[in-house]
Amino acid sequence: MPAPNAAPTRRRAALLAALLAPALLTACGETDAGPGLEPGELLPGGATTNTLLGGRNAFIRPAENITVEHEPAFYTGNSFFNQAWVEAPASTGRRDGLGPLFNARSCAACHLRDGRGRPPESPDEPFLGLLLRLSVPGEDAVGGPLADPSYGGQLQPFAINDVAPEADASLTYVAVEGTYGDGSTYTLLEPTYHIDAPAYGPLPADLMVSPRVAPAVIGLGLLEAIPADALEAAADPDDADGDGISGRVNRVWDATAEAHVIGRFGWKGDAPSVRQQVAGAFLGDMGITTPLFTGQNCTEAQTDCLGARDGGEGGPEIDVETFEKVVIYTSLLAVPARREADAAEVVRGKALFGEMGCAACHTPSHRTGAHPLPEVEDQLIWPYTDLLLHDMGPALADDRPVFEASGQEWRTPPLWGIGLLPAVNDHQRLLHDGRARGVAEAILWHGGEAEASREAFRAAPAADRDAVVRFVESL
């Protein structure tokens, strides 16, 4: 637990950073390479920004303006996020209920230090930090993907004792060679996913499989606080302005409101709130029932799974109070401050990022609105996302629709913190499945609406490409 004066110390640090920002901006000003820093840009999370910790612990801080009321809940939520769950019954009654089928034993197993997962690096490494979503053609009762009748909506390669894991998952890569405009070459990795030894009957021929790597969980409350009407206003589904960018909102089922609302989270914008994203992860990834999703994750074909559970009698496996504390924790993880934002190459890279059209989808800034957590209200934030769906072309397609998202559409991921991934998680595997080994490869995989931006980057001189990469890594 933090020292008694930890919250005031954070507030003083945030205030100091805010007071220093104008001086830094004045010192940077305009440069010959392009526009200088904009007001507030050094603090991408506004008053919530982590101004104290960097490096390996850059993502673990609470919002710097966290209230005295929410600080204890944050640290309790942190405990339940990071510690492993165990099979029931157990002496640790508040942490039992794992499975029967699962992908991980804790949230942190995939989001290590609140960061990002990656695909396995060898054939014998288990899938951890990367999962496979499953569905068959059709829609469920609320318009979402139709789960496979035998294997459900997510492949779970682990199980408790006396229950068979669903299957073995693996992947292989094929090298894709390419050439920059200056003649230098690059190699991309195109993944293929394999599901072997299915334990509950053969896999259907029309099974749709979508890999999803665990994203970093910083700044989620801020993204939730962006007003819905601002997202609607930014959408241009018919490309009315003729710029080739057709961002769309995804309307998804909100299990709390029992209505279709705008989706914000998940790789296809298929979760409407932090609360539902957390509940979905507890159930899908660990088999833990919650106040929002009270039913077990066993299908009718999985008789040993069904037999290992009591059907939820006695309430959810994580109680209401603890669940809400985990929601507060994941809502108030702070975004780290910018690094080297005034370096000449970074400033030039920012200008090129705009000129290449990248900012058309990776919208630099937003102003947050009303939210149940006052810490995230009325903040100028710099996440570099529009939270909209975009057609990314056939190379990145998973051919698996999710509500209104097509098989080629993905939600624009936020870029804040991306340059700290090597320090936090010892890798920089990017995109929805982690196929890209850094920022340049991620850009080179872009297609569809982003094809013109990709080609501008590919054709640019090496110095310009390096500047764009360095800018993105400063976020």
pLDDT of residue 124: 84
Query: In residues, how long is the chain?
Result: 475
The three-point CA angle 192-435-226 to 5° equals: 120
- For 419-425, what is the mean pLDDT? 98
pLDDT of residue 315: 77
- For 444-472, what is the mean pLDDT? 98
Give residue-wise pLDDT tens across range 223-268: 999 999 999 999 999 999 999 999 999 999 999 999 999 999 999 9
Lookup: tokens for 156: 């779970």
Say which residue, 6 or 390, is predicted with more confidence: 390
C-alpha–C-alpha distance, residues 288 and 296, integer Å: 8
Task: Look at residue 444 and give its three-state secondary structure.
Answer: helix
Instruction: Check if the beta carbon of residue 223 is closer than 8 Å to that of residue 265.
Output: yes
pLDDT of residue 94: 79
Say which residue, 94 or 469, is predicted with more confidence: 469
pLDDT of residue 56: 97
pLDDT of residue 21: 45
- Residue 40 reports pLDDT greater than 50: yes
Nearest to 285 by CA among 212, 367, 363, 176: 212
Strand partners, 195: 169
Q: Which long-range contacts (CB under 8 A, 24 or more apart) does 427-432 make?
A: 427/116, 427/118, 429/116, 429/118, 429/119, 429/213, 431/213, 431/396, 432/211, 432/212, 432/213, 432/267, 432/396, 432/398
- Residue 27 reports pLDDT greater than 80: no
- Residue 26 reports pLDDT greater than 80: no
- Residue 207 reports pLDDT greater than 80: yes
Give residue-wise pLDDT tens across range 150-185: 999 999 999 999 999 999 999 999 999 999 999 999
pLDDT of residue 254: 98
Ramachandran category for residue 12: left, alpha or beta (phi over 0 → left; psi -120 to 50 → alpha): alpha
Q: Where are the alpha helices (DSSP H) in 336-406?
A: 344-355
Cβ atoms < 10 Å from Cβ of 207: 17
Amino acid at 325: K
Q: Domain ranges for the chain, please list them.
A: 6-76+334-473, 83-218+265-331
pLDDT of residue 37: 86
pLDDT of residue 28: 34
Lookup: tokens for 199: 């334990």
Q: Which long-range contacts (CB under 8 A, 24 or more apart) does 234-241 make?
A: 234/363, 234/386, 234/388, 235/388
pLDDT of residue 342: 93
pLDDT of residue 123: 82
Work out the percent of the chain whose per-residue pLDDT is above 90. 87
Q: What is the helix (H) or strand (E) element at residue 284, kind and residue range?
A: helix 274-286
- For 190-196, what is the mean pLDDT? 97
Give residue-wise pLDDT tens across range 43-64: 999 999 999 999 999 999 999 9
- Residue 4 reports pLDDT greater than 70: no
- Residue 445 reports pLDDT greater than 60: yes
- Residue 275 reports pLDDT greater than 90: yes
DSSP 8-state assignment for residue 44: T
pLDDT of residue 1: 41
Give residue-wise pLDDT tens across range 372-405: 999 999 999 999 999 999 999 999 999 999 999 9
DSSP 8-state assignment for residue 39: T
C-alpha–C-alpha distance, residues 51 and 425, integer Å: 20
pLDDT of residue 88: 85
Give residue-wise pLDDT tens across range 316-362: 999 999 999 999 999 999 999 999 999 999 999 999 999 999 999 99
- Residue 91 reports pLDDT greater than 80: no
Q: HEC profile for 141-206? A: CCCCEECECCCECECCCEECCCCCCCCEEEEEEEEEEEECCCCCEEEEEEEEEEEECCCCCCCCCC
C-alpha–C-alpha distance, residues 255 and 278, integer Å: 12
Cβ atoms < 10 Å from Cβ of 318: 25
Q: Give the model's confidence band at 196: pLDDT under 50 very low, under 70 low, under 90 confident, else very high.
A: very high
Lookup: tokens for 222: 């801020």
Mean pLDDT rounded to a whole number for the chain: 92
pLDDT of residue 35: 54
Instruction: Check if the beta carbon of residue 429 is closer than 8 Å to that of residue 120.
Output: no
